[in-house]
Protein backbone atom coordinates (compact mmCIF):
# COMPACT_ATOMS: atom_id res chain seq x y z
CA UNK A 1 0.00 0.00 0.00
CA UNK A 2 1.42 3.36 -0.97
CA UNK A 3 0.19 6.94 -1.15
CA UNK A 4 1.12 10.19 -2.78
CA UNK A 5 1.03 12.90 -0.14
CA UNK A 6 1.81 16.61 -0.13
CA UNK A 7 4.20 17.59 2.66
CA UNK A 8 5.47 21.17 3.02
CA UNK A 9 4.56 22.04 -0.56
CA UNK A 10 6.15 18.97 -2.18
CA UNK A 11 4.64 15.66 -3.27
CA UNK A 12 6.12 12.37 -2.08
CA UNK A 13 5.34 8.73 -2.82
CA UNK A 14 5.37 7.04 0.58
CA UNK A 15 4.65 3.64 2.05
CA UNK A 16 5.02 2.09 5.47
CA UNK A 17 8.65 1.94 6.64
CA UNK A 18 10.04 4.59 4.25
CA UNK A 19 12.39 7.28 5.51
CA UNK A 20 11.81 10.58 3.76
CA UNK A 21 13.64 13.93 3.89
CA UNK A 22 11.18 16.83 3.77
CA UNK A 23 11.61 20.58 4.21
CA UNK A 24 12.05 21.55 7.85
CA UNK A 25 8.95 20.86 9.97
CA UNK A 26 8.07 22.61 13.23
CA UNK A 27 8.03 19.41 15.29
CA UNK A 28 10.40 18.01 17.89
CA UNK A 29 12.43 14.85 17.34
CA UNK A 30 10.39 11.79 18.25
CA UNK A 31 7.07 13.61 17.75
CA UNK A 32 4.28 11.91 15.84
CA UNK A 33 2.87 13.90 12.91
CA UNK A 34 -0.01 13.30 10.50
CA UNK A 35 -0.40 14.64 6.98
CA UNK A 36 -3.94 15.15 5.65
CA UNK A 37 -3.20 16.18 2.06
CA UNK A 38 -3.27 12.67 0.57
CA UNK A 39 -3.68 12.93 -3.19
CA UNK A 40 -3.75 9.22 -4.11
CA UNK A 41 -3.90 5.85 -2.35
CA UNK A 42 -3.05 2.52 -3.97
CA UNK A 43 -4.14 -0.46 -1.88
CA UNK A 44 -3.06 -3.58 -3.78
CA UNK A 45 -4.29 -2.36 -7.17
CA UNK A 46 -7.37 -0.56 -5.82
CA UNK A 47 -6.63 3.10 -6.51
CA UNK A 48 -8.40 6.04 -4.88
CA UNK A 49 -7.72 9.40 -6.48
CA UNK A 50 -8.67 12.55 -4.59
CA UNK A 51 -10.38 15.63 -5.90
CA UNK A 52 -8.01 17.31 -4.87
CA UNK A 53 -7.46 15.09 -1.79
CA UNK A 54 -8.80 11.73 -0.65
CA UNK A 55 -11.48 12.27 2.03
CA UNK A 56 -10.50 11.07 5.50
CA UNK A 57 -7.11 9.69 4.41
CA UNK A 58 -3.98 10.43 6.45
CA UNK A 59 -0.33 9.50 6.54
CA UNK A 60 1.10 8.91 10.02
CA UNK A 61 4.81 9.55 10.56
CA UNK A 62 7.43 10.04 13.27
CA UNK A 63 10.10 12.74 13.20
CA UNK A 64 13.53 11.10 13.36
CA UNK A 65 15.88 14.08 13.17
CA UNK A 66 16.51 17.58 11.83
CA UNK A 67 19.48 17.77 9.43
CA UNK A 68 21.07 20.11 6.92
CA UNK A 69 21.49 19.25 3.27
CA UNK A 70 24.60 19.55 1.11
CA UNK A 71 26.11 22.97 0.51
CA UNK A 72 25.02 24.62 -2.74
CA UNK A 73 27.49 27.15 -4.14
CA UNK A 74 26.12 30.25 -5.88
CA UNK A 75 28.74 32.12 -7.95
CA UNK A 76 27.91 35.11 -10.13
CA UNK A 77 30.36 36.82 -12.46
CA UNK A 78 30.26 39.39 -15.23
CA UNK A 79 33.20 39.37 -17.60
CA UNK A 80 35.40 42.42 -17.87
CA UNK A 81 33.33 44.31 -15.27
CA UNK A 82 35.29 43.23 -12.16
CA UNK A 83 32.07 41.83 -10.71
CA UNK A 84 32.15 38.57 -8.80
CA UNK A 85 29.76 37.48 -6.10
CA UNK A 86 30.19 34.29 -4.09
CA UNK A 87 27.40 32.88 -1.94
CA UNK A 88 26.34 29.49 -0.63
CA UNK A 89 23.33 27.86 0.98
CA UNK A 90 22.45 24.80 3.07
CA UNK A 91 18.81 23.73 3.18
CA UNK A 92 17.31 22.49 6.45
CA UNK A 93 15.53 19.14 6.25
CA UNK A 94 13.55 16.91 8.58
CA UNK A 95 13.91 13.15 8.31
CA UNK A 96 10.64 11.34 8.96
CA UNK A 97 9.75 7.65 9.20
CA UNK A 98 6.39 6.72 7.67
CA UNK A 99 4.38 4.67 10.17
CA UNK A 100 1.43 3.97 7.89
CA UNK A 101 -1.04 5.10 5.26
CA UNK A 102 -4.50 5.35 6.79
CA UNK A 103 -7.66 5.34 4.70
CA UNK A 104 -10.96 6.80 5.90
CA UNK A 105 -11.90 5.47 9.35
CA UNK A 106 -8.68 3.46 9.78
CA UNK A 107 -6.30 3.71 12.70
CA UNK A 108 -2.62 2.88 12.81
CA UNK A 109 -3.28 -0.27 14.87
CA UNK A 110 -5.65 -1.60 12.19
CA UNK A 111 -3.00 -1.27 9.51
CA UNK A 112 -0.35 -2.94 11.63
CA UNK A 113 -2.64 -5.91 12.24
CA UNK A 114 -3.34 -6.24 8.50
CA UNK A 115 0.36 -6.23 7.64
CA UNK A 116 1.45 -8.56 10.44
CA UNK A 117 3.28 -11.48 8.93
CA UNK A 118 3.31 -14.98 10.31
CA UNK A 119 6.78 -16.47 10.32
CA UNK A 120 7.19 -20.22 10.38
CA UNK A 121 10.35 -21.98 11.46
CA UNK A 122 11.34 -25.05 9.51
CA UNK A 123 12.80 -27.91 11.55
CA UNK A 124 16.51 -28.44 11.13
CA UNK A 125 17.55 -31.19 8.74
CA UNK A 126 18.68 -34.42 10.32
CA UNK A 127 22.43 -34.74 10.49
CA UNK A 128 23.90 -38.00 9.31
CA UNK A 129 26.77 -39.62 11.16
CA UNK A 130 29.58 -40.25 8.75
CA UNK A 131 32.50 -42.47 9.53
CA UNK A 132 36.05 -41.47 8.77
CA UNK A 133 36.58 -44.56 6.62
CA UNK A 134 33.77 -43.54 4.23
CA UNK A 135 35.26 -40.08 3.84
CA UNK A 136 38.70 -41.49 3.05
CA UNK A 137 37.22 -43.81 0.42
CA UNK A 138 35.35 -40.91 -1.21
CA UNK A 139 38.50 -38.79 -1.33
CA UNK A 140 40.48 -41.67 -2.85
CA UNK A 141 37.77 -42.25 -5.47
CA UNK A 142 37.96 -38.59 -6.50
CA UNK A 143 41.76 -38.71 -6.86
CA UNK A 144 41.72 -41.98 -8.84
CA UNK A 145 40.44 -40.51 -12.14
CA UNK A 146 43.17 -37.89 -12.04
CA UNK A 147 45.83 -40.63 -11.65
CA UNK A 148 44.33 -42.58 -14.59
CA UNK A 149 44.38 -39.48 -16.80
CA UNK A 150 48.03 -38.84 -15.90
CA UNK A 151 48.86 -42.47 -16.67
CA UNK A 152 47.22 -42.20 -20.12
CA UNK A 153 49.24 -39.08 -20.96
CA UNK A 154 52.53 -40.79 -20.10
CA UNK A 155 51.54 -43.87 -22.12
CA UNK A 156 50.87 -41.72 -25.21
CA UNK A 157 54.25 -39.99 -24.95
CA UNK A 158 56.10 -43.35 -25.06
Alpha helices of the chain — where are they, by DSSP H?
108-115, 132-157
The answer to whether 61 and 96 have CB atoms below 8 angstroms apart is yes
State how far the Cα of 41 lies from the Cα of 51, in Å rounded to an integer: 12
89-131 confidence digits (pLDDT tens):
999 999 999 999 988 877 777 666 655 555 455 555 555 555 5
38-49 confidence digits (pLDDT tens):
999 998 888 999
Q: Is residue 78 pLDDT above 70, yes or no?
A: yes
The pTM of the full predicted model, rounded to 2 decimals, is 0.64
DSSP 8-state code for residue 83: E
101-111 confidence digits (pLDDT tens):
988 877 777 66
Bridge pairing between strands 46-49 and 19-23:
unpaired
* Per-residue pLDDT, 123: 58
* Per-residue pLDDT, 140: 67
Burial of 32 (0-12, 13-18, 19+ CB in 10 A): exposed
Amino acid sequence: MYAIVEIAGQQFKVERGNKVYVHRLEANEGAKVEFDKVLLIDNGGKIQVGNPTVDGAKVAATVISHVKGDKVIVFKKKRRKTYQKWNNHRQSFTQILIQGVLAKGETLKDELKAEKKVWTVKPAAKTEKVSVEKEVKKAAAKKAPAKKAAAKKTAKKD
